[in-house]
Structure 1
Amino acid sequence: MKSYFKHYLIFSTLIILSISGFAQVKPVQLDKKIKKQVVEHIVEKLNTNYVYLDTAVKMGEFIRHQLSKGVYDTIKTPAVFAAQLTKDLLSVYHDGHLSVRFYPDLKLDADTKDADAEKKEAERFLKFRKSVNLGFDKAEILPGNIGYLKIRGFFEPDAEAKAMATAALRFVSNSQYLILDLRSNGGGDPDMVKYICGFFFKNRTHLNDLYTRKDKSTAAYWTTPDSILNTLKTIPIYVLTSKKTFSGGEELTYDLQTQKRAIIIGETTGGGAHPVQPFAAGYGFVANIPYARAINPITKTNWEATGVKPDIAVEADKALDTAIVNIKNSQHQ
């Protein structure tokens, strides 16, 4: 079954808002046997998939240790058990994409064929996409012919999402300057990041690579230059960031910064460079495990744990005003 849930996960700032309509919680009677089986499933999935094997081993050893010491014995509810497992895993290494959740109605088994469930999942996802306007919050022209585009997240660049991105960029394409507001951007699909970047470069540009540990494969991300909105290829770009800017929002920021295509203004971002995938851990528990890491072709590294550092550091709520002042100053140089 095609899993739309993966896109909920990577669109991380919005998942909390959407998941309440995803499934109704069924009661699970937790006992030592169930807890042990869930822990062992998580350990196996970590060891097989987590981006760093040595860290995966340490995480697995720690939650096994916690189990054997009786730390989980008094936990009665699945949500609390999932939260404690997440806390313990992150105590070994704080990967912002890693978590354990309880979604009892979610089916992740590739062998599970349920056309009705798949249809309902697709309908929920479509409704969710529309409710957040496919991640595009605002497009406007500020005084001084400054284009302003606020993007909260990135969905898979299907025809509908591409049309929305193109429409938003077309609206600001006659501006003299462009401000991309990513202060509330929690991430999303790297293919949409690549698609948007295609409007900002004259030539085909190597943005990023994703290395998957399990099969030791590398996927390269290059822009496909847009041939319609040519003014965007040279427009000066300012990117606004905050501590909440995360994952795909950080990738767009980092891509533009390392290519010297934008000035970054705001706060150091959250520091999540590992794409995530959900894995069933039994009894309705889901382990959201980072399975790959980004490798920038220029820096040969990424923003994991460190975040993307702004070129002009200011508090997030002052970033827009600072960008406007910076633009006005540049006009007088």
Structure 2
Amino acid sequence: MRIVILAAALAVAAPLALAATPVAAQSAAKFDSRAAIESIRKALRENYVVKERRPALDAALAKGLAGGRYTVADPQEFAMRVNADLEAVAHDKHLNLRHNPELSAQIGTGGQRDDATESAYWRDLARRQNEGVRELRVLDGNVRLMRYDGFFWNGEASQAAIDAGMAFLRGGDAIVIDLRTNGGGSPDAVRRLASYFVPAGAKLVTFHMRDEAPAVSHAEASIPGGRITGVPVYVLTSGGTASAAEEFASHVAGFGFATLVGETTAGAAYRNDFFAIPGGFVLSASVGRPELPSGGDWEAKGVAPRLAVAPDLALDRAMQDALATLAPKASGPARTELEWAAARYAARAAQARPALPASAYAGRYGERTVTADGAGLVYQRDGGLRTALISLGGDLFALEHDPRARLRFVSANGAVTGFVLERADGSKVEAKRG
């Protein structure tokens, strides 16, 4: 078989990578549009996952060829026209054509299989992106976050990156896995990550590939440190969360080990292969479909979140929920700190507004200064660090860089006269406006 099996991966995850050839070189390229179209038709007739849709795709391409629609000199324009015709028939996010002579040459006419382990191109891409694990952070309340941008699978290298990320998350009192910019990847990586949360041996998904016997993916029998249980887990999604990332989101929904926060995912369920097309083109075509344990898949409908919110507010909403869940388990100042932090994230998610214009709060308060700039209010003690004030609504503000304190402004006759700096340990500092 020809080609780069990225198991649902980077046709969605990295369209720019597929189109990485310099524009000048692309425009100057010579190609035979008829040969390219005939190659695309053959690949789809023999491989496209939805067999009943193959004749319509073939007819659309044949019509465009006969009518001269594809007789253009610019390979980019050629690809755009082909993609428009394929989209009109299939509405398939994995089905597309790109001009990428470098990758096309790597695939070659004989083709190569690539679970990303046999292609230097994808191995290097994965290495430079730390196998998809792009960021690890400790947030307020010891909530641990991992931003995971691609379900890469390079065997031991990818496994080690996932395991390292999970070892970090394991130390958190709550966990956030950010898939908002994750366009997919390998079901092997999905299985590894899901195995940290679902029972050993649990059935994850059945793949139906061409005319091959179905292949079933099960959770791994053992993983380093054992399953993660007993802590709140949140998975952030967006409309750009696609393919293999949606498989993981489906397991979140199906097994209930985490809360999905954000917006409904892309709805790209099929698995794709890449085919080298004459003229330096690469065709991504769906060649298989998944089936979840409950039946069905997420194609064209995506996976809906339990906490629906705009993607840019998803982390704030997850943090609000996580901290509110953790607060009752704490006591004393620690509990107050968690409650205040939850309120701060809630205000950010709700985009809370102060009672007065920013300029009304600006001024000198003893040895402290509050200034207004284009972004809002900034607080600073003489000789100390500047920190943004986050509105909690009304005259109450959180300090961005000090979760153990907040400011409550005092007004008289509509004018701000001072503030009270409240601390989580119960102490207070009162300051009058100068």
Q: Distance in 2 between matches of 1:238 and 1:188?
A: 20
Q: Which has the larger radius of gyration?
A: 2
Query: 3-state DSSP class of the match of 1:207?
Result: strand
CA displacement at 1:22 relative to structure 2: 10
**How far is 1:281 from its partner?**
2.7
C-alpha distance in structure 2 between counterparts of 1:19 and 1:158, whole Å:
26
1:283 to 279, 289, 295: 279
Per the TM alignment, residue 270 of structure 1 is displaced from its structure 2 partner at its CA by: 0.7
Does structure 2 retain, via aligned residues, the 8 Å contact 1:26–1:104? no
Residue of 72, 96, 101 corresponding to 1:104: 101
Give the direction of change, closer, same or farther, for the CA distance of 1:179–1:230 in structure 2 (3 Å limit): same
Matches within 5 A, 1:117-132: 122=120, 124-132=121-129
CA contact (8 A) 2:144 2:173 kept: yes
Q: How does 1:286-305 map to 2 (within 5 A)?
A: 286-298=282-294, 300-305=295-300
Q: Which amino acid aligns with 1:97?
A: H
The match for 1:223 among 212, 219, 240 is: 219
1:10 matched to 2:9? The reply is yes
Residue 9 of structure 1 and its aligned partner are, at CA, apart by 7.9
Q: Does 1:236 align with 2:242?
A: no
Change over 3 Å in CA distance of 1:196–1:56 after alignment to 2? same
Residues 162-190 of structure 1: per-residue CA shift (max 9 Å, x gap): 11111111011121211111000010011
Check conservation: 2:198, 2:255, Cα contact below 8 A: no
Please say if 1:330 is aligned against 2:325. yes
Deviations for 1:206-249, whole angstroms, at most 9, x for unmatched residues?
Answer: 1111111x224211110114343236144332110011111111
Whether 2:80 is the aligned partner of 1:83: answer yes
* Pick aligned residue for 1:320 from 287, 312, 315: 315
Return the structure number with greater strand share: 2
Amino acid at match of 1:209: T
| 1:200 Cα deviation after fit | 1.1
Identity %: 27
Aligned length: 320
How many Å separate the matches in 1 of 2:247 and 2:155? 20
User: Is this contact kept in 2: 1:182–1:240, CA < 8 A?
Assistant: yes
Task: Measure how far apart 1:19 and its partner are.
Answer: 5.4
- Aligned partners of 1:179 and 1:160: how far apart in 2? 23
Within-5 A mapping of 1:167-206: 167-206=164-203
Distance change >3 Å, CA 47–CA 194, structure 1 → 2: same
Asked if the contact 2:271–2:287 (Cα under 8 Å) also holds between the matched residues in 1, the reply is: yes
Matched, 1:272 2:273: no
Match of 1:116 in 2: none
1:142 aligned to 2:139?
Answer: yes
Residue of structure 2 equivalent to 1:310: 305
Structure 2 letter corresponding to 1:60: D
In 1, Cα distance between the equivalents of 2:108 and 2:191? 30
**Partner secondary structure for residue 211 of structure 1:** strand
Q: 1:17 to 1:101 in 2, by over 3 A?
A: closer
The CA deviation at 1:196 is 0.9
Cα deviation, residue 112, structure 1: 7.1
Query: RMSD of the TM alignment (CA)?
Result: 2.7
2:153–2:186 Cα contact (<8 Å) kept: yes
User: How far 1:39 moved relative to its partner?
Assistant: 1.6
**Is residue 271–residue 308 contact of structure 1 (8 Å, CA) maintained in 2?**
yes
In the TM superposition, residue 7 of structure 1 has moved relative to its aligned partner by: 3.9
**5+ residue gaps in structure 2?**
330-434
Residue in 2 aligned with 1:47? 45
CA separation of 1:134 and 1:103: change in aligned 2, threshold 3 A: same
Aligned counterparts of 2:216 and 2:111: Cα–Cα separation in 1: 31
CA distance in 2, matches of 1:295, 1:22: 39
The answer as to whether partners of 1:199 and 1:225 remain within 8 angstroms in 2 is no
Aligned in 2, Cα 1:139/1:21: closer, same or farther, shift over 3 Å?
A: farther
**1:6 and 1:180 mapped to 2: Cα distance?**
26
Alignment TM-score, normalising by the size of structure 1: 0.87
Question: CA separation of 1:145/1:241 partners in 2, compared to 1, >3 Å: closer, same or farther?
Answer: same
TM-score (norm 2): 0.68
Quick check: 2:26–2:76 contact (8 Å CA) kept in 1?
A: no
C-alpha change, 1:143 and 1:28, in structure 2 (3 Å) is closer
